Amino acid sequence: MSARDLALFTDLYELKMLQTYRLEGMAEAGVFDLYVRELPESRNYLLACGLDDALAWLESVRFRKSDLDYLATTGHFRDDFLKWLETFRFTGDVWAVPEGTPVFADEPLLEVIAPVGEGQLAETFLMNQVHFQTAVASKAARVVQAASGVPVVDFGMRRYHGTDAALKAARAFTVAGVASTSNVLAGKTYGIPVAGTMAHSFVQAFDDEMDAFRAFVRAYPDTVVLVDTYDTIEGVEKLVALAREMGPAFRVSGVRIDSGDLVELSRRSREILDAAGLERVGIFLSGGLDEHRVAEVVRSGVRVEGFGVGTRMGVPPDAPTLDIAYKLVEYGGEGRLKLSPGKPILPGRKQVYRAIGADGRAERDVVARRDEVHEGEPLLVEVMRGGERTAAGRESLADARERARRETARLPDPVRGIEPAEPPYPVVVSGPLLDVQRRVEERFAD
Amino acid sequence: MSARDLALFTDLYELKMLQTYRLEGMAEAGVFDLYVRELPESRNYLLACGLDDALAWLESVRFRKSDLDYLATTGHFRDDFLKWLETFRFTGDVWAVPEGTPVFADEPLLEVIAPVGEGQLAETFLMNQVHFQTAVASKAARVVQAASGVPVVDFGMRRYHGTDAALKAARAFTVAGVASTSNVLAGKTYGIPVAGTMAHSFVQAFDDEMDAFRAFVRAYPDTVVLVDTYDTIEGVEKLVALAREMGPAFRVSGVRIDSGDLVELSRRSREILDAAGLERVGIFLSGGLDEHRVAEVVRSGVRVEGFGVGTRMGVPPDAPTLDIAYKLVEYGGEGRLKLSPGKPILPGRKQVYRAIGADGRAERDVVARRDEVHEGEPLLVEVMRGGERTAAGRESLADARERARRETARLPDPVRGIEPAEPPYPVVVSGPLLDVQRRVEERFAD
């Protein structure tokens, strides 16, 4: 579905609030922050992702006739409101942290400044996309880090949560440095390199494993061959036999091992291949991999040419969701917050400054009021003005990927690593911002 | 995106295998089983879901010109193959367990019988939809069970994994007995009741909480009012004041509490409301709920009119994915399996029989060869023949929901409950099926 067909991708209450704001004549600007309240224990940082889809929705959201007809049937909306929705456009501004930037708790990923009802309506879609894409980009960055330069391939679309997740995960992984995907639709949609060879079922369909290898190699001479359908080591030996059989025509580029003790099987396979003079045949590993298993393989020192990672990267079991929030922080020029239990809201417009040390490494972040000036690089940039993207809001996927590579490299080593960083990366809230928070709190606690 | 636009929603290797099967002239029927190898520890059963979307894809999969143009750019496909894809149709049969049926490990949810390349190509989309919808329907069934008749509302689309997950989750929840959803697009798409009132940000946008209540009640007189933005008990007291202010015009139906100690706050809110003669104002709870927290509220005996459940139902942290597989079990009339480490495949076509006791309760399941006859109700029915749905393949969402209600009620109480059932529900593999497995194993282990 294109963003244009997703006007109704919203919680019902957003529309009810929008109608009520209209009835009350409340059209002043609200400021909404989209941010993560707390990092999962197993994340030292998050990789911002999903902005492009968020902006696409804001730019193109339109209520179609069938949407309005449906809304009329719910009994929640007045005719004049539905009439008004016909010409609804998002007219606000957005400041955001560009995709591929490492971010931390309390730092706005997006700041939406718009007539309060418009900002409210955007909540559901913006959260849905930024939450998911940030969650899986952040996981993938860890896998890429653990792989130490060995290419990682996205193999998991079958177990990601629906079609949109599979598509957007492939996109987010690309930002995070994953090399390619098995997802053909993602290849078509985003121009991401696609990869993949054969399944166990292909081998099973032949009476003889060797015949399966022969058939696939006939069609794809430089393929990777899946060797673990019956017995991994025998599979590798059969491939060696095929190499002898084919002589100089043999161009197979690798073997894939998808089960068993991957380190031990890789070592033995490598020995067999090397002994047969097949040094150029690589080893490709898959099957239940995550950053920790990948790190274990890398630590073992065995030569590996690729990691196929899937389910645990696209549906991270250690942090399948993030504690993400979209909160009104200002209305009519005044700071806003809520006092119910949980982490307090920081009111008002903000900027995040990343202080860079003499060694070029990120040292700490300051979350400040918009009108403060601090040392360091400001992270929030204007990506949409009056409902239209600015140049900064039109980045390519390649730009985001390059930023992620560059900016994660600037993180302190323990923060970039896959073990919990101790101490965690320092994020401080500025004194002036804390002052505002205290004043607004006092006002609303009365 | 409609199923028609999702021909490329596939792993690259499916298309490469399809081309290779064609080159090798391998067009005999393959049988593929889609099943779960092992239940998550925290599931006593799964609720089958996702079949309707699977069949929609099979029925309508078409490669469009832009798809073929893209595939040509990958360099993996011959012109004659791409030409052939132009007219590609799925021509096979499907047997399946109807949606809303409780299922267990080793039981095929779908059996696809088709020219082997067609069955192979279907793997990715079928797994993607059946996996996700079954995973979240199974979680939701637990929440509904725990709620003991109190309506459960789906509140979580913002944190589900992408737009398709949010849409399909609302559908799966409906099968599982969830009463309504906040997801307006799901309401439009499936005719599911939609629900929702106001967010904290609405209350925050007013200088005074009482003014926020007044404004929303003006627009929606019988609304539920969110009372925990600043202080829950004060919020309830303000609502009581509003009732006095409005007199007979006061028709507010409930208060929503979204944070804090929900049992204690519900109890105190109930006392305050009752003391004010507002017995008919209900209490609606939300905020980080799952089946265990819902059960705790129900056990406390406090009167609650509804549970809003979100993130933990649509992205179940205890089982965010299932150990689902799609395996070739027969080709050219002969049983197939693989021997690599992991649970072994049961070869050949099958039927699952559910034995029902004298009390009408399900007693055990037998996974048998298709040609065996057993006591009990056969679970797999023919839902597609020659690429077209049968009547059994055209069930309504209401049918699936009714089946789930009826069939989960027939499960033994401990199996239907949310604590681990000890012993688990018995599923046995028939003697003849084990014999076949042994024979095929011996053949391929040579």
Q: Could you tell me the CATH superfamily of domain B3-137+327-445?
A: nicotinate phosphoribosyltransferase (3.20.140.10)
pLDDT for B443 equals: 84
Whether the predicted interface score ipTM is above 0.95: yes
Q: Are B11 and A182 inside 8 Å of each other by CB?
A: yes
Tokens 């637990």 belong to residue: B142
Q: Summarize the confidence of residues B237-249 as an average pLDDT.
A: 97
Give the mean model confidence (pLDDT) for residues A236-242. 98
CA distance B281 to B253: 5
A378 interfaces chain B, CB cutoff of 8 Å: no
**Whether pLDDT at A340 is above 90:** no
Instruction: Give the span between the Cα atoms of A261 and A265, in whole angstroms.
Output: 6
Could B315 and A161 be called an inter-chain contact, meaning their C-beta atoms sit closer than 8 Å?
yes
Over residues A224-249, the mean pLDDT reads 97
In this structure, the number of other CB atoms found within 10 A of the CB of residue B256 comes to: 23
Q: Which residues in chain A are contacts of B229 at CB distance < 8 A?
A: 338-340
What DSSP letter does each residue of A48-106 carry, written as one string?
---HHHHHHHHHH----HHHHHHHHHHT-S-HHHHHHHHT-----EEEEPPTT-EE-TT
Q: What is the pLDDT of residue B1?
A: 59
Distance from CA of A376 to the nearest CA of B (A): 32
With a cut of 90, say whether residue B436 has pLDDT above it.
yes
Distance from CA of A322 to the nearest CA of B (A): 8
State which fold the A3-137+320-445 domain adopts: nicotinate phosphoribosyltransferase (3.20.140)
Q: What H or E segment, with its residue span, contains residue A213?
A: helix A209-219
d(CA A343, CA A329) in angstroms, rounded, equals: 14
CA dist A333 and B421 (Å) reads 57
Q: Is A24 on the interface with B (CB under 8 A)?
A: yes
Instruction: Evaluate if residue B372 carries a pLDDT over 80.
Output: yes
User: DSSP string of A376-424?
Assistant: SEE--EEEEETTEE-GGG---HHHHHHHHHHHHHTS-HHHHSSSPPSSP
Half-sphere exposure of B89 (CA within 13 A, CB side): 9
So what's the pLDDT on residue B441?
87
Nearest CB to A219 within list B19, B157, B194: B19
Confirm if B370 and B349 have CB atoms less than 8 A apart: yes
Query: What residue has token string 């009390």?
Result: B359
Q: Residues of chain A with pLDDT > 70: what percent?
A: 98
Q: How far apart are CA A151 and CA A138, in angstroms?
A: 17
Cβ separation A166–B9 shorter than 8 A: yes
Q: What is the 3-state secondary structure (H, E, C) of chain B?
A: CCHHHHCCCCEHHHHHHHHHHHHCCCCCEEEEEEEECCCCCCCCCEECCCHHHHHHHHHHCCCCHHHHHHHHHHCCCCHHHHHHHHCCCCCCEEEECCCCCEECCCCCCEEEEEEHHHHHHCHHHHHHHHHHHHHHHHHHHHHHHHHCCCCEEECCHHHCCHHHHHHHHHHHHHHHCCCEECEHHHHHHHCCCECCCCCHHHHHCCCCHHHHHHHHHHHCCCCEEECCCCCHHHHHHHHHHHHHHHHHHCCCCEEEECCCCHHHHHHHHHHHHHHCCCCCCEEEEECCCCHHHHHHHHHHCCCCCEEEECHHHHCCCCCCCCCEEEEEEEECCEECCCCCCCCCCCCCCEEEEEEECCCCCEEEEEEEECCCCCCCEECCEEEEECCEECHHHCCCHHHHHHHHHHHHHCCCHHHHCCCCCCCCCCEEECHHHHHHHHHHHHHHHC
Q: What percent of chain B has pLDDT over 90?
A: 94
Q: How many CB atoms lie within 10 A of CB B385?
A: 15
Which segments within A108-192 are labelled E, that is strand? Answer: 110-115, 152-154, 180-181
pLDDT at B5: 86
The whole-number pLDDT of residue A418 equals 98
C-alpha to C-alpha distance for A293 and A314, rounded to whole angstroms: 16
Most confident of B1-10, B253-262, B338-347: B253-262
Q: Would you tell me which residues 325-364 of chain A have a C-beta closer than 8 angstroms to some C-beta of chain B?
A: 326-328, 331, 336-342
pLDDT at A151: 98
What's the pLDDT at B335? 85
Contacts of A16 in chain B (CB under 8 A): 196-198, 219-220
According to DSSP, the residues that pair with A285 across neighbouring strands are A257, A307
Please name the helix (run of DSSP H) or strand (run of DSSP E) that holds residue A28, with its range, or none: none
**Could you give the count of Cα atoms lying within 13 Å of A410 in the half-sphere of its Cβ?**
22
Name chain B contacts of A445, Cβ cutoff 8 Å. 230
Q: In which residue are the tokens 């997950």 written?
A: B165
Is B163's CB within 8 Å of A164's CB?
Answer: yes
Write out chain A residues lying below 8 Å of B23, CB-based. 215, 218-219
**In the prediction, which pLDDT does B343 show?**
73
Per-residue model confidence (pLDDT) at position A161: 98
Does the beta carbon of A32 lie under 8 angstroms from any beta carbon of chain B?
Answer: yes
What is the model's pLDDT at position A220? 97
Residues 206-235 of chain A with CB under 8 A from chain B are 215-216, 218-220, 228-232
- Nearest beta carbon to residue A157 from set B66, B128, B203: B128
Whether the Cβ atoms of residue A415 and residue A142 lie closer than 8 Å to each other: no
A155 touches chain B (CB under 8 A): yes
Residue of A4, A36, A116, A161 to mutate for B, most B C-beta atoms under 10 A:
A161
Collapse the DSSP code of A338 into the 3-class scheme (helix H, G, I; strand E, B; otherwise coil) and give the result. coil
Interface contact A184, partner B, CB < 8 A: yes
Average pLDDT over residues A304-313: 98
How does pLDDT run across A185-223, given as a tens digit for each residue?
999 999 999 999 999 999 999 999 999 999 999 999 999
Q: Is pLDDT at A117 greater than 90 in this prediction?
A: yes
On whether any CB of chain B is under 8 Å from the CB of A96, the answer is: no
Average pLDDT value for residue range A166-192: 98
The C-alpha atoms of residue A48 and residue A381 are separated, in whole angstroms, by 13
Contact with chain B for residue A57, Cβ under 8 A? no
Q: Read off φ and ψ for residue B367, nearest 5 degrees.
A: -95, 115
Residues of chain A in contact with residue B199, where contact means CB-CB under 8 angstroms, are 13-14, 17, 120, 123
- pLDDT averaged over every residue in chain A: 96
Environment class of residue A58 by beta-carbon count within 10 Å: exposed (0-12), middle (13-18) or buried (19+)?
Answer: buried
* pLDDT level of residue A5 (50, 70, 90 thresholds): confident
Mean pLDDT of chain B: 96
Instruction: Tell if the CB–CB gap between A259 and B340 is shorter than 8 Å.
Output: yes
DSSP state of A7: T
Residue B1 and residue A6: Cβ atoms within 8 Å? no
Q: Is the pTM of this model over 0.90?
A: yes
Q: Closest residue of A to B217, CA-based? A: A20
Q: Using a pLDDT cut of 90, give the percent of chain A over it.
A: 94
pLDDT in tens, B179-235: 999 999 999 999 999 999 999 999 999 999 999 999 999 999 999 999 999 999 999
Q: How much is the pLDDT for A1? A: 59
Could you give the percent of chain B with pLDDT greater than 70? 99
pLDDT band at B276 (very low <50, low <70, confident <90, very high): very high
Tell me the shortest Cα–Cα distance from A317 to chain B, in angstroms.
7
Note whether A215 contacts B30, CB cutoff 8 Å: no
Q: Give the confidence band of B446 by pLDDT, cuts at 50, 70, 90.
A: low
Q: From edge to edge, which strands make up the β-sheet containing A381-385?
A: A334-335, A324-331, A29-36, A110-115, A93-96, A381-385, A388-389
What's the CATH architecture for A141-314? Alpha-Beta Barrel (3.20)
Considering only alpha carbons, which residue of chain B is nearest residue A17? B198
C-alpha distances in Å from residue B164, one per residue of A165, A264, B64, B183:
7, 40, 21, 12
What angle do the packed helices A397-409 and A162-176 form, to 10 degrees?
50
- For chains A and B, what is the number of CB pairs under 8 angstroms? 320
What's the sign of the alpha-carbon dihedral B244, B250, B254, B257? Answer: negative
B116 touches chain A (CB under 8 A): yes
**Residue A443 predicted with pLDDT over 70:** yes
Domains A3-137+320-445 and A141-314 alike in fold: no
Judging contacts by C-beta atoms under 8 Å, the chain A residues touching residue B231 are 339-340
pLDDT over 80 (residue A300): yes
Structure tokens at A239: 């491939």
What's the mean pLDDT in B393-416? 98
Give the SS3 label for residue A362: strand
Residue of A nearest to B343 (CA): A259
pLDDT at A147: 98
Q: What is the pLDDT of residue A446?
A: 60
- Whether chain B has a CB inside 8 Å of the CB on A67: the answer is yes
Smallest CA–CA distance, residue A398 to chain B, in Å, is 19
Q: Which CATH number fits domain B140-314: 3.30.70.1150, 3.30.1300.30, 1.20.1740.10, 3.20.20.70?
A: 3.20.20.70
Calpha distance A318→A136 (Å, rounded) = 11
How many of the other CB atoms lie within 10 Å of CB of A85? 20
CB contact under 8 Å between B259 and A165, yes or no, is no
Cα–Cα distance, A148 to B315 (Å, whole number): 30
What is the arithmetic mean of pLDDT over A295-313? 98
**B20–A216: do the CB atoms touch at under 8 Å?**
yes
The domain locations on chain A are 3-137+320-445, 141-314
